[in-house]
Amino acid sequence: MTSIFPRFLPLAALGLLLAPAAAHAQQYQPTATGLRVSTDSLMVEVQFYSPEIVRVLKQPKNVEAAKKSLVVTQAPAPGKLKYSQKNGQVTISSPTTQVVVNEKTGQVSFRTAKGQPLLSEQTLGSRFTPKKDLGAATYRVRQVFQLAPGEAVYGLGQHQDGHLNYRGQKVLMKQKSLDIALPVLHSGKGYGVLWDNYSTTNFSDAAAGTVFDSEIGDCVDYYLLNGQGTADGVVARYRQLTGQAPMFPRWTLGFWQSKERYKSQDETVGVVEKYRALGVPLDGIVQDWQYWGEDNDLWNDMAFNNPKFPNPQAMVDRVHALHAHQMISVWPSFGKKSKPYQELASKDMLFDFITWPRTPHVKVYDAFDPAARDIYWKYLNQGIFKFGMDAWWMDATEPDQLQPFDTDDDNETALGSFRRVRNAYPLVATSGVYEHQRQATADKRVFILTRSAFAGQQRYGTMVWSSDVDSRWDVLAKQIPAALNLSLTGFPYWNSDIGGFFPSGQYPKGVKDPAFQELYTRWQQFAALTPMMRSHGEYTPREIYQFGERGTWAFDSQAKFIDLRYRLQPYLYSLMWQVTSRAGTPMRALAMDFANDPKVSDMGTEYMFGPAFLVRPVTEAQYVNRPDRNVPVPPDFSKTKGVEVYLPAGASWFDFWTGKRQPGGQTVQRETPIDVMPLYVRAGSVLPLGPHQQYTGEKADAPLEIRVYPGANGEFTLYEDENDNYNYEKGAFATIKMRWDDKARQLTFDNRTGNFPGMQAARTFRVVLADEQHGTGIGADDAPAKEVKYAGQKTTVKL
């Protein structure tokens, strides 16, 4: 098997700490992309990938350890560089970034173009500890940085520990259910670090320094991402380096219904039919496992062997006829009687460790091998995709290794030991499906839901979910910082199981328990303001009609927020375009937009959703007091409860539901009846809202409501295209910039830019000025509005 990590030359008597106690100054060597510095024991190379992206590569002297990155897609493009040398230090500068290398020790530090410190290694911060891996010589690698006092750091993937700021914390970065190891550190100072290593890594921050300590590595390899002082700049540099996120289909923004599991095709289709009969919007239905049969020896056979799914083509066709779309669960593991297992086993492409379901016959395939990825897609295409399946639920892409059996890392992959590359498994697993579907058709955009991710995976059409979380209020609260830190690593798309996956331990009466209904209702409100709104869980059904009838509190609250989701579609789809075209971030920690407000630097209870919405989910029970979990009690709505909401400084804020305007920089008490989650809109926002509809595209020609929140100048760019193909990559899309001049009290629709087949040449906008007198919310159809007929040319309306 060929490795991306070529073996290196052995060194005699190599010390653990490769930094000399004393050495004479060395001459640096300029290179086409930066420079090299050789100390007595280290070779240090600095490579500029852009003026703001700098790679640092360190390895023991006389070691050949060239590495091809699985993560980085950009080639070095240094631009114009300047060199200087003084007092044993060499400085190499781009127009925006300075890198200083100590010629004696190999220590590297980074500064802005004006010489302001960004990040520095510790003097003796690079350590290589010799070890063996599958009999070959390698190292445990460690790099120590020194952060500034009070500097906040975020990112590192998704870790459900409740932390937003990781100063003073330790994090085990090892892929597993619930935790996503994504080695990107995001500093509140406006820079980031991508640690390009794929083995289990310990991150820690303490007074002694900030450490990345990886189990396997032939070199220290990391990238400094100079965001030039902004969080969005850091994310942009990360995506520039590792790949941009493609567009999802527009219908993915609708409501998704799922459970563990629908046991027949009639049940699956019946759920969609029931939603249509009730008039509750729905766009996605999910078919979870065992459609292949209930025998684990056929696990993930990628075929409808189950007799309760006798005609999968008819199932998919019926879902499509109901104007919905279908996702199906697939796994990286196979039972011994499945056809993929037999072919992969014959070619030695299966790992030998215990995974779920716990049976010796289920084995995970080597997704690091491109030939194995070809085989995986062959069966996926022949057995499922051919029916017109719309989306993939790639479960357990960590892949799942059951404790205490998760230490067998000696399995050999196509790229070396599993120990060496384990954290990158979800990256290569999703890449195989994305790339093969792109080759198969350009008419259906790839949409992959998966529970694990790695650096660069955003380029493979991936949405992650936070795994099989418990149905508890404290778990709901921890979803918020978990999602925000994943966003700060540069991964834009996240969601969670509405209501939590495991309710049985806390709510044995399930959906009939008012306490679970309250938790589910609040979780669903939160989900409406995340990148994907998806109901899922085991033990108890989650369909809206299981909670009661229209007119009951749980049903009506859920219907209200599903309706809100659909009204927000023009806003959400335009945000998706910002992700693809400008490296945007939908779920935003408040520090991204209000860096000058110290109160938000470690606030994990609220977030911005796009440029307009401040979201404060309700994460505590308020109306059901249940002293005994086995005895359901009715809710008590006799007194309206509330929560505290901090309104960030630097803006004024409108209550979305009432239109009341309040200044920022203060904490307010907001009442939270069961059908209200605190939502505030930043003054100056221009918010496009779509019609009430049952599915995406039902009323494509309906007027759009353009809601203006006065108090500051603002703008928003409305994006439109064909909704579900890749023609946008060829320029088939249109944008309309809307600009609000607060002093002149006028909204300008600029000339439309671009076009696409089927575009509305003329359309109607209903422009509404938000205020407390008329209220806002999702149903302001009766609010005073000015109707604007727009035909693509610049149009201005006075309010």
Q: What share of the chain is helix, strand, coil (3-state, %, to 5)?
A: 20, 30, 50
Q: For position 406, what pLDDT does the model report? A: 58
Active site residue 468: yes
**Is pLDDT at 26 greater than 70 in this prediction?**
no
Q: One of 213, 288, 395, 563 is an active-site residue; which one? A: 395
In the numeric block, the tokens 């390895």 are attached to 59
Q: Across residues 409-437, what is the average pLDDT? A: 97
Percent of the chain, pLDDT > 70? 95
Within a 13 Å sphere around the CA of 678, how many CA atoms are in the beta-carbon half? Answer: 24
Q: Contact 35/209 with Cβ under 8 angstroms?
A: no
Which backbone phi and psi does 741 adopt, to 5 degrees? -100, 105
Q: For position 625, what pLDDT does the model report? A: 85
Q: For position 9, what pLDDT does the model report? A: 34
Residue partners of 110: CB distance under 8 A and separation at least 6: 54, 97, 98, 99, 100, 117, 118, 119, 120, 191, 224, 226
Q: What is the pLDDT of residues 566-615, one digit of tens each?
A: 999 999 999 999 999 999 999 999 999 999 999 999 999 999 999 999 99
Q: For position 632, what pLDDT does the model report? A: 81
Tokens coding 720: 């439109």
Looking at the domain that runs over 686-798, which CATH code has it been given?
2.60.40.1180
> Is the fold of 29-148+189-242 the same as that of 686-798?
yes
Q: Contact 454/181 with Cβ under 8 angstroms?
A: yes
Measured distance CA(583)–CA(606) in Å, rounded: 22
Q: Contact 576/247 with Cβ under 8 angstroms?
A: yes
Domain ranges across the chain: 29-148+189-242, 254-570, 686-798
Q: Would you call 621 helix, strand, or coil by DSSP?
A: coil
**Is pLDDT at 62 greater than 90 in this prediction?**
no
Q: Across residues 334-344, what is the average pLDDT? A: 97
Confidence band (pLDDT; 50, 70, 90) for 779?
A: low
Looking at the domain that runs over 254-570, which CATH code has it been given?
3.20.20.80
Looking at the domain that runs over 29-148+189-242, which CATH code has it been given?
2.60.40.1760
Confidence band (pLDDT; 50, 70, 90) for 781?
A: low
Q: What is the pLDDT of residues 226-254, one digit of tens each?
A: 999 999 999 999 999 999 999 999 999 99
Q: For position 16, what pLDDT does the model report? A: 38
Measured distance CA(736)–CA(719) in Å, rounded: 7
Q: One of 468, 556, 698, 771 is an active-site residue; which one? A: 468
Q: Contact 480/607 with Cβ under 8 angstroms?
A: yes
DSSP state at residue 582? H
Tokens coding 138: 């390698």
Which of 137-151, 357-371, 590-604 shows the lowest mean pLDDT across its residues?
A: 357-371
Q: For position 7, what pLDDT does the model report? A: 37
Q: One of 398, 409, 563, 597 is an active-site residue; which one? A: 398
Residue partners of 98: CB distance under 8 A and separation at least 6: 91, 92, 110, 111, 112, 113, 115
H/E run at residue 671? strand 666-671
Measured distance CA(698)–CA(251) in Å, rounded: 11
Closest CA to 196 of 485, 420, 379, 405: 420
Measured distance CA(481)–CA(487) in Å, rounded: 10
Q: What is the pLDDT of residues 13-23, one digit of tens each?
A: 333 343 333 33
Q: What is the pLDDT of residues 69-106, one digit of tens each?
A: 999 999 999 999 999 999 999 999 999 999 999 999 99
Active site residue 606: no
Strand pairing report for 462-465 and 494-495? parallel
